[in-house]
């Protein structure tokens, strides 16, 4: 049965029954001294988990170990710094580029 098929009086009756059921459920819980699982999830408050100092120390040590494993052990293992060119290589490249562009300019003038 679809809720849109119900008459207004039937909807009111269903709402009244639902309210009575929830009141009876609350009364039963107070008698038994229990808290329903839906009540704790419904209010949105979560119980905060605490971690002992020893566990925090273990977690910190493990994190440091992971970070150390990611970084190179020494500076010698790092690759050479980029952007530095041997002066002799730079002069050779410069001469080749000058010759290339001179040839291109000469071809365009013709």
Determine which of 4-13, 21-30, 93-102 has the lowest per-residue pLDDT on average.
4-13
d(CA 8, CA 14): 10
Cβ contact 35:29 at 8 Å: yes
Please tell me the predicted confidence (pLDDT) of residue 2. Answer: 79
Q: Is the pLDDT of residue 42 over 60?
A: no
pLDDT in tens, 51-83: 999 999 999 999 999 988 887 656 555 666 677
Residues of the chain above pLDDT 70, percent: 81
**Does the pLDDT at position 39 exceed 80?**
no
* Run of H or E residues at 5: none
What is the 3-state composition of the chain as percent helix, strand, coil, each rounded to the nearest 5? 70, 0, 30
Is the pLDDT assigned to residue 43 strictly greater than 60?
A: no
Q: Which of 36, 9, 6, 7 is nearest to 21 (CA)?
A: 36
Helices (H) then strands (E): counts for the chain: 4, 0
């Amino acid at each position: 049965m679809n809720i849109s098929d119900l008459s207004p009086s039937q909807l009111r009756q269903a709402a009244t029954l639902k309210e009575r059921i929830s009141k009876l459920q609350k009364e039963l819980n107070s008698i038994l001294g229990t808290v329903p699982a839906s009540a704790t999830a419904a209010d949105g408050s979560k119980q905060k988990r605490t971690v002992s100092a020893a566990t925090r120390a273990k977690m910190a040590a493990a994190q440091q170990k992971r970070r150390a494993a990611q970084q190179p052990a020494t500076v010698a293992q790092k690759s050479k710094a980029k952007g530095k060119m041997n002066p002799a290589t730079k002069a050779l490249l410069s001469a080749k580029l000058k010759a290339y562009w001179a040839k291109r300019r000469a071809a365009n003038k013709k």
